[in-house]
Structure 1
Amino acid sequence: MCSGGCAKCLGITLIPLAVLCLLANILLFFPGGKVADDNDHISKEVWFFGGILGSGVLMIFPALVFLGLKNNDCCGCCGNESCGKRFAMFSSILFAAIGFVGAGYSFIISAVGIHNGPKCKTVSGIWETPFNGGDYLGNTSLWDQCKEPANVVPWNLTLFSLLLIMSGVQAVLCAIQAINGLIGTICGECKCCGCCGGDGPV
């Protein structure tokens, strides 16, 4: 059962990625690794919940569907030995699209978060986003503009970069499953399961 086996592998990979994205987004609520004195001191991109909703919650559903495809009963469609499997593979395309959208949302939010930089207390004593433009990425001397919280720039940059990479990987995996699901829908599995009474291709 090639298509189902491939889907299961993708699902197994997506689960830990979704959990890591959830954790990364949660850590962003603690700028510099410390509890924020005021919610307004947290970068606005964190409040868009890219890692929690996009790469986290929305990714769990496709991952669980992918995991269950290998064990799906191919006799589940009026006893037809190929219809059940093909319908299951077709439904996986829809869930892959949901996962792709979620990962894409997280990817965009992360890219914006990296570009704008963190919100911090600057030398002027004001809480603001001093790097709105991305220039700080190639000039670490600009990081000294942020006085509080300590180490907020590398903290935000690291976590948003991890979210960017992981959501990008998730998007690629969902795209692979969309193609895999399309192949499974058109061609069926490599072989039918034993309950259908056939060992040949469907």
Structure 2
Amino acid sequence: MCLHSCSCAGFSLIPLSLCSIAANILLYVPNGDPTYAANNQLSSYVLYFEGICFAGILMLFPAAIFILLDHFEVCEPKNRNTKTWILLLAALCGVAFSSYCVVISVLGLVQGPYCRTNIGWGHVFQSTNGGYLTDRSTWTQCLEPAQVVEWNVTLFSILLSLSGVEMILCFLQALKETAKLMNAKCASWEKVYC
């Protein structure tokens, strides 16, 4: 009898990817004001679509593959290996997509928001290498948009957390599929040499 297993990774990735899309969209409207996006007055890392595309839309493909293939029972060893390879490839793609979002979110946090200060518009915290994150007293340098530092730090941190969880789920799925392939290889070697 063929054993059937269901992966929770696919079902977990869907809400994570939808939340990533929402968080990235919110980065485009600091404090709900779309005029900053229209005037191109956003942090440069907001424009990399890390949450919308990579941790969002593209992450739905591995999720769909995990869900669809986990509901198909495959009893023939040849077809079982093909299914495992497809799941492994989808998991590795998921790791790559979420890793991109992790990197861009970290870079966005380190760079800080694009805001207006007493001397004009710019990335006022870029030279601090993320040091501004621990010194809240410097956040008042940004005069416009209002509370843009809190907005960016919160949303980039949410994106970092969501994509980090996605990366862990896909990595664990990749390990699971690799173990299946190794077990199948060991079983085939036992047949040949025993």
TM-score of Structure 1 vs Structure 2, range by shorter chain: 0.7 to 0.9
Task: Give, in angstroms, the shift of residue 3 of structure 1.
Answer: 7.4
SS of the residue 1:157 aligns to: helix
Match in the other structure for 1:88: 83
Q: What is the distance in 2 between the residues matched to 1:29 and 1:65? A: 30
Residue 13, structure 1, aligned to residue 12, structure 2? yes
Instruction: Give the counterpart of 1:146 among 142, 156, 160.
Output: 142
Match in the other structure for 1:56: 56
After superposing the two structures, state which structure 1 stretch, 41-50 or 29-38, moved more: 29-38
Q: What is the distance in 1 between the residues matched to 2:138 and 2:91? A: 41
Q: How many residues are aligned here? A: 180
Residue 99, structure 1, aligned to residue 94, structure 2? yes
Task: Give, in angstroms, the shift of residue 2 of structure 1.
Answer: 6.9
Task: Give, in angstroms, the shift of residue 90 of structure 1.
Answer: 1.3
SS of the residue 1:127 aligns to: strand
Q: What is the distance in 1 between the residues matched to 2:182 and 2:71? A: 19
Match in the other structure for 2:71: 71
Match in the other structure for 1:198: none
Q: What is the distance in 1 between the residues matched to 2:89 and 2:39? A: 37
Task: Give, in angstroms, the shift of residue 35 of structure 1.
Answer: 1.4
Q: What is the distance in 2 between the residues matched to 1:118 and 1:150? A: 11
Q: What is the distance in 2 between the residues matched to 1:110 and 1:3? A: 37
SS of the residue 1:150 aligns to: coil
Q: What is the distance in 1 between the residues matched to 2:53 and 2:167? A: 14
Unaligned runs of 5+ in 1: 76-80, 189-202
Percent sequence identity is: 38
Q: What is the distance in 1 between the residues matched to 2:69 and 2:153? A: 37
Match in the other structure for 1:168: 164
Task: Give, in angstroms, the shift of residue 34 of structure 1.
Answer: 1.6
Displaced runs of 4+ in structure 1, greater than 4 A?
Answer: none
The structure where helix makes up a greater share of residues is 2
SS of the residue 2:58 aligns to: helix
Letter in 1 for 2:180: G
- Kindly indicate whether the alpha-carbon contact (under 8 Å) linking 2:98 and 2:166 is maintained by their aligned counterparts in 1: yes
SS of the residue 2:86 aligns to: helix
Q: What is the distance in 2 between the residues matched to 1:137 and 1:87? A: 47
Q: Where do 1:172-183 residues align within 5 Å?
A: 172-183=168-179
1:88-143 C-alpha deviation (Å, 9 max, x unpaired): 1111111111111110000000000000111011122x111101121211111101
- Kindly indicate whether the alpha-carbon contact (under 8 Å) linking 1:17 and 1:166 is maintained by their aligned counterparts in 2: yes
Q: What is the distance in 2 between the residues matched to 1:52 and 1:22? A: 4
Residue 156, structure 1, aligned to residue 161, structure 2? no
- Kindly indicate whether the alpha-carbon contact (under 8 Å) linking 1:69 and 1:89 is maintained by their aligned counterparts in 2: no
Q: TM-score, normalised by structure 1?
A: 0.83
Task: Give, in angstroms, the shift of residue 85 of structure 1.
Answer: 2.3
Could you say what the CA RMSD is over the residues aligned between the two structures, in angstroms?
1.7
